[in-house]
Amino acid sequence: MKIVNLKTKQAKFNPVKTPNSIEVEYYRQLRFMIEQIHKRFNNVVIEGMDTKTIREQIEDENYLSRLERLVRDFKKKIKRQFGLLRIIEIATNINLLIYKYNERRWINELFKFGINLKKDISWKFLKDYLDMRITSNVGLIKNLRDDVQNDLEQMIYRNFEQGKTHKELAKEMVEKFGIDKRKAALIARNEIKNTNTQLNKKRMQEYGIEKAVWDTSEDERVRSQHRLFNQKEYVVGIGLKNEKGEFEEVGEAINCRCVAMPII
């Protein structure tokens, strides 16, 4: 669909920025999964272990087999609670939220130009992309789930071999929980940003918008290269040439918070 400025050249298209609320919701769901994994590990494995001395553990030939059974029980419970269907549900709901947000913003912005996008919305041209994003997010969530539980499993066996106390184990679990939360936050931030950026780009290409303006956050965290790009026009699908001589578009760099302002 080719759109034309029908109303006024004075209208301004405000950039469709990444919504913090959906990023927070994604992080909330990932954090809940991590919390449940840690909680079940503590309830099933840690509390299921005998508080024996190091020497007693080594001398008890049944202790290791008992620990292995507890770990197996823990992993079964996690698989039941966060199986593939649950993960697909999380990924699908999050991607639908970002799609609907992006669609609403485009409808509102184009309405300023006298363009009623509601009559011309095409779900089909974005469906394949959304299916790909859902599949990608399913993989990320599944990997996060598996990494968290596998790390906990390795930790308990390592502590057992080294003869560490329960107090030392509890301290290590607290540190690991902090690391896992940061991983979840990174996934939520990057995935929501990437999806919104690509939806903007695909809409511009679908609607025949050939050029956009690079818009930064204009704060101290902006990359020096992106400061040079700020407020410059570029061709959608090509971008601007960076210091490496490579063409780059808005949002392609890791943690890039820049947005595109379509030129209509």
List the one residue out of 18, 148, 178, 5 whose CA is nearest residue 81.
148
Residue with tokens 């971008």: 239
Is the CB of residue 12 less than 8 Å from the CB of residue 87?
Answer: no
What stretches in the chain show pLDDT beneath 70? 1-11, 50-61, 117-124, 164
Q: What is the pLDDT of residue 64?
A: 77
Q: Helix, strand or coil for residue 201? A: helix
* Residues present in the chain in total: 264
pTM for this predicted structure: 0.86
Helix (H) or strand (E) holding 38: helix 20-40
Q: In sequence order, what E strands does the chain have?
A: 211-215, 233-235, 240-241, 247-248, 259-262
Q: What is the pLDDT of residue 118?
A: 65
Residue with tokens 């992309």: 129
Q: What is the pLDDT of residue 54?
A: 47
- Which amino acid belongs to residue 177? F
Q: What is the pLDDT of residue 153?
A: 92
